[in-house]
Structure 1
Amino acid sequence: MDSFFEFFSFSDPNIRYVVIGSLLLTSSSAIVGTFTFLKKKALVGDAVAHAVLPGVCLSFILSGEKSPIILIIGAFLTGWLSLVLIDIITAKSKLKEDTAIGLILSVFFGIGIFMLTIIQKSGNASQTGLDQFLFGKAASLVGFDLIVFAVIAVILIVSVWLFFKELTLLAFDEEFAVTLGLPVRAIELLLTTLTVLAVVVGIQAVGVVLMAAMLITPAAAARFWTHNITTMIWLAAIFGSLSGLAGAYISYIAPSMPTGPWIVVVISTIAFISFFLAPGRGILYRVKTQRRIKKQINDENILKALYHLGEEGKKFYEKRTLQEILSKRKFEPQALKSGLKRLRSDGYLKNENGYWSFTRAGKRKGQRTVKLHRLWELYLTQYLRIAPDHVHDDADTIEHILTPELEARLEKLLNYPKVDPHQSEIPYG
C-alpha cells in the first residue's frame, strides 16, 4: 500500500518522467491510431514501427550522439519514406497493399538490424542503450525526453482537432471527399505524417516490435463500445492512458518487469474484455442476441403451425396435441417443448391436460406471421419474377424480421391482396 501512495504522489522525479511520458505516448498514439484503424490500415503502423530503426541508426552514425531530437528526425524520415514507398508499390505494380507492407517492413527492418550491428561493433561508447529502440524502455525517460514527447503529443492532438472533419470523411467515405473537392491526397499525407510521428514518439516506450499494438489496439477496443467517432477517440485515449499508467505502476512495484511490454499487456487485456463484454458488439452480446432470435423464430414457427392447423375448418382455438403440431412442421422435441412453455408464459398459448390452444393474443401473433409469409411470397413472384415454388424458403426467413412499417408498405404496394401465389388466403386483422 505504501508503494501505491508513493507512486501516485509523484514525489520522485523519475516516477514523474516515466508516468507523464507513458501517458503522453499512449494517449496521443491512440488518438491518431483511431483514424489509421478506421481507414483499415492497421498493418501500416507495424510497417512504420519497423522502418524507423534504420533512421535511428543512421542519425546516430551521422551525429555520433543519442540526442532524442536527432534520433526522432531520422526515425521520422525513414518511417515516412516507408509509407510513401508502400503507396508507390501498390499504385505502380500488381502487388497488393499487404504484400507491399510485408516487403517494406522486412527490408527496412533488416537494414536497421544490419546498421545496429555495425554500430555495436564500432566501439563508440555513446551507442550504449541504442538497442532499447527494439524493445523500448520507458523507465529510462528523462526530463528532456519528456519535453520532446510533450511537444510531439501536442502537435498530434492539435492536428487531429484542426482537421477532425477532413480525417473523419477520409476514414469513412473517401469517394465522397473527392466529390466535395477536398484535397484527399494532402489529407492522406497528413494522416501518414501523424501516424509516423505517433510511431516515432512511442518506440522509446514500447519499442519497434510492440509499437503497432499501441497504435491500433486502443482504437480496436474503443470501437466495440461506440458507433460515434468522437466517443471512440476519447475512449481510445482513455484506454491508452490507463495502459500507460498501469504499465508504469507494474514496472515500479516489480523493477524486473519492463514498462513497455506491460503497457501492451494491459491494453491487450482491455481489448479482450471489450471484444467479449462490450454491449451491442461484444462476442457474448452477439451470442446472446443470436440465441434470443433463434428462440423468437422457433416460437413464431410454433404459432404459425397452430394457425395452419386452425385454417382447416376455421377452428383456430381448437386444442392440439404435440403430434398434431409436428404434423404441420418439424421441430426438435426439446425446442418444441421449451417454445411451448415460453409461449404459455408469455400469454400466447394455453395448456390443458397436455393439449395446446391459442389465446386471443397468440392467434393474432400467429396470424400476422402467416400473413407476412404470404405477402412476401406474393412480392417475390410479382416484382422479382421468381417461380412460386421457389419462394417459400426465403419467405420463411423474412417473415420474422419484417417490421410493421414494411408490412404496411407491402400491403399498399400489393394493393391489399386476398390470396398468395399458391391461392392460400392472406389473413388480415
Structure 2
Amino acid sequence: MELKEYFSLVFSDYTLRTITLGTAILGALCGMLGSFAVLRKQSLLGDAISHAALPGIAIAFIITGTKDSNVLLIGALISGLIGAFWIRGITSKTHLKSDTALGLVLSLFFGFGMLLLTFIQKQPNANQAGLDKYLFGQAATLIERDVWLMASITGICLIVLLLFWKEFKILLFDAEYTKTLGFNTNFIDILITVFIVLAIVMGLQTVGVVLMSAMLLAPAAAARQWTNSLGVMVFLAAIFGAFSGVLGTAISASENNLSTGPVIVLVASVFVVFSFVFSPKRGLLFKQIRIIKNRRDLVLHKTLAFMHTIAKTHGDISHPHTIKILNNFHGFTKKTLQKLADKNYIKIENNMWSLTEEGFEKASNLYNQQT
C-alpha cells in the first residue's frame, strides 16, 4: 500500500481509521504531558514508569487468566502508580537523587516483570500467547473502545490543565515560591505524575514498554527548541506528537513488516533532529550563523575602531594618508572595507579609503562603549 492509497482509505477503512485516531490522540496526550516531565528535569520518569507497568500486566493476567486489555491496563496502571510513588518516596525520604531513584525502580520493576512473563510462558495456559506485545507494542490490536478511552483521558487532561494552569506553571519554575503562595505543591505534583502514568499506560498497547519513554519525551524536546512560552510549548508538543502518530502509522501501513510503534518513535525523532538543527532561536544551524555573523561584526568593528584612532591623530578624517597607515594594519582586508562602504561608514575614491562622518560617529560610539 502506498502513502497516497493509505490516506484515501483512512476515512473509510475501520481498522486504519481506528489505529490512526488512536496513535494521533496518544501522540497529542504524550506531547502535552511530556512537556511537564521535560521542564521538571524528569526525562527518565517516563522510562521508569513504563517499565514499572510491566509486572502489573503480568500479575493481572495471573490473577484473572484473561488477556482482556482493560484488565491488563488496570494492572499496569496500579503497578505504574506504585513505581511512581516509590520514586517520590526514595527521593524525599533518603539522600538519593531522582536519577538514582528512577534507575532503581526501572531495573527492579522491569526485572520482576520479565521474571513473571517467563513464569507465565512456562504455564500450560493457551491464553498466555501475545503478552509480549506489551514490550514493543502492537497498534493493530487497537479497537474503537480504546480510542474512546484515550480521547476521554485526553479531554480530562485538558480540563485539568486549564483549571490548574497557573499552579502548574508556577510549580514548574519556582517550587519554593509556590509554597509561599499557599498552594499545595504535593497535590499539584501528584496530579501531574498521575496523568503522566495514565498517558504511559494508554500507550503501552500501541508503542510498548521499551519505547514509551521516547513517545513521551521526543515531541516535548522538539517543541522546547521553538519557544520559551509554556503554553506554546505544550501546544507544539501535542501537534508534533499527533503528527508523529499519524505519519508513523501511515509509513507502517504502507510498508510490509514494519511495526507501528517503532516507526512512530522514529518519526518523532525526526521532528527532534529537525528542531535541533533548524529552530531559529536554539537550532544549531542558526546558532552557527549567529556566531559567524558576530565574528564578522567584530572584524568590522575592529577595523572601524582602528580607522577612528587614525582619524583622531589626523585632523582631516578623509586624509589619504590614513590608507597608508591602514595598509600596515594586519586586520585590514578589502572585503571588510567593502562591507564598511556598503554601510556608508567609509567611502572609496580613486582606490583611496576614508571615513565618512557617519562612520566616524559610529566608531566614536564603539570607542566610548569599550572605554
Structure 2 CA distance for partners of 1:345 and 1:216, relative to 1, 3 Å: same
Give, in whole Å, the separation in 2 of the partners of 1:200 and 1:239. Answer: 20
**Residues 144 and 125 (structure 1), Cα distance of their counterparts in 2 relative to 1, 3 Å cut:** farther
Match 1:4 to one of 6, 11, 26: 6
2:335 aligned residue:
338
Q: 1:6 to 1:370 in 2, by over 3 A?
A: closer
Instruction: Tell me the alpha carbon deviations over residues 29-78 of structure 1, each in whole angstroms, 9 at most, x when there is no partner.
Output: 11111111111211111111111111111111111112222222221222
Matched, 1:290 2:291: yes
Q: In structure 1, what is the equivalent of residue 147 of structure 2?
A: 146
RMSD: 2.0
Q: Are the structure 2 counterparts of residues 37 and 320 from structure 1 closer, same or farther at C-alpha, using a change threshold of 3 Å?
A: farther
For 1:31, the equivalent position in structure 2 comes to: 32
Q: Kindly indicate whether residue 353 of structure 2 is the aligned counterpart of residue 373 of structure 1.
A: no
Q: Could you say which residue in structure 1 is the equivalent of 2:85?
A: 84
Note closer, same or farther for the CA distance 1:303–1:263 as it changes in structure 2 (3 Å cut).
Answer: same
Q: Spell out, residue by residue over 1:344-397, the C-alpha distance to the aligned partner (whole angstroms, 9 max, x if none).
A: 1211112345542101111111011011112xxxxxxxxxxxxxxxxxxxxxxx
What secondary structure sits across from 1:351 in the alignment? strand
Aligned residue identity for 1:274: S
Partner residue in 1 for 2:347: 350
Contact kept, 8 Å, 1:320 with 1:355, in 2: the verdict is: no
User: In the alignment, is the contact (CA less than 8 A) between 2:300 and 2:340 conserved in 1?
Assistant: yes
Residue identity matched to 2:99: D
Q: How far apart are residue 144 of structure 1 and its match?
A: 3.0
* Corresponding position of 1:22: 23
Provide the C-alpha distance between the structure 2 equivalents of 1:299 and 1:291, rounded to a whole number of angstroms.
Answer: 12
**CA distance in structure 2 between the partners assigned to 1:339 and 1:282 by the alignment:** 28
Given that 2:247 and 2:264 are in contact with CA atoms closer than 8 Å, whether structure 1 keeps it comes out as yes
> What are the equivalent positions in structure 2 for 1:94-105 lying under 5 Å apart?
94-105=95-106
- In 2: Cα distance, 1:152 partner to 1:34 partner: 17
SS in 1 for 2:207: helix
Q: Is the 8 A contact 1:54 1:108 kept in 2?
A: yes
Q: Relative to 1, partners in 2 of residues 1:303 and 1:61: Cα closer, same or farther, differing over 3 Å?
A: same
Query: 2:42 maps to which residue?
Result: 41
Matches within 5 A, 1:16-415: 16-319=17-320, 324-325=325-326, 331=331, 336-374=333-371
**Letter paired with 1:351:** I
Query: Structure 2: which 5+ runs fail to align?
Result: none
Between the aligned partners of 1:243 and 1:234, the Cα distance in structure 2 is 14
Residue 307 of structure 1 and its aligned partner are, at CA, apart by: 1.0
Q: State the shift of 1:311 in Å.
A: 2.2
Partners of 1:224 and 1:282 within 8 A in 2: yes
SS in 2 for 1:350: strand
Cα distance 1:115–1:199, how it changes in 2: closer, same or farther (>3 A)? same
Note the C-alpha offset of 1:143.
2.8
Does the Cα contact within 8 Å between 1:320 and 1:356 map onto a contact in 2? Answer: no
Distance in 1 (CA, whole Å) between partners of 2:63 and 2:55 is 12
Paired with 1:102 and 1:325, the residues of 2 have a C-alpha distance of 63
Q: Say which SS state the counterpart of residue 209 (structure 2) adopts.
A: helix
TM-score normalised by the chain length of structure 2: 0.93
Which whole-Å CA distance do the structure 1 matches of 2:61 and 2:212 have between them?
21
* Alignment partners' CA distance in 2, 1:338 and 1:175: 55
Q: Distance in 1 between matches of 2:152 and 2:123?
A: 33
Alpha-carbon distance between aligned partners in 2 of 1:363 and 1:258, rounded to the nearest angstrom: 67
Deviations 1:407-429 (A, max 9, x none): xxxxxxxxxxxxxxxxxxxxxxx
Q: Which moved more, 1:354-363 or 1:263-272?
A: 354-363
Query: How much does 1:124 deviate?
Result: 1.8
When Rg is computed on C-alpha atoms for both structures, the one with the higher figure is 1
The CA distance in 2 between the partners of 1:112 and 1:320, in whole Å, is 84
Partner SS for 1:82: helix
Q: Which ranges of structure 1 fall in alignment gaps of 5 or more residues?
A: 375-429
Please identify, of 122-131 and 307-316, the stretch whose mean Cα deviation from structure 2 is larger.
307-316
SS at match of 1:299: helix
The AA in structure 1 aligned to 2:355 is: F
Which range is displaced more, 107-116 or 346-355?
346-355
**Do the aligned partners of 1:321 and 1:355 also contact (CA within 8 Å) in 2?**
no
**Aligned partners of 2:310 and 2:322 also within 8 Å:** no
Give aligned-pair identity as a percent.
Answer: 39
Task: Report the CA distance between 1:281 and its aligned residue.
Answer: 2.0
Write the letter of the residue equivalent to 2:40.
Answer: K
Report deviation, 1:321. Answer: 5.9
1:146: how far off? 2.6
Which amino acid is 2:6 matched to?
F
- Distance in 2 between residues matched to 1:264 and 1:158, nearest whole Å: 27
CA contact (8 A) 2:80 2:197 kept: yes
Give distance in 1, aligned partners of 2:203 and 2:217. Answer: 12
Q: CA deviation at 1:320?
A: 5.2
Alignment partners' CA distance in 1, 2:238 and 2:88: 28
CA displacement at 1:313 relative to structure 2: 4.2
Displacement after TM superposition at 1:85 (Å)? 1.8
Instruction: Judge conservation of contact 1:149–1:201 (CA < 8 Å) in 2.
Output: yes
Cα distance in 1 for partners of 2:153, 2:58 equals 21
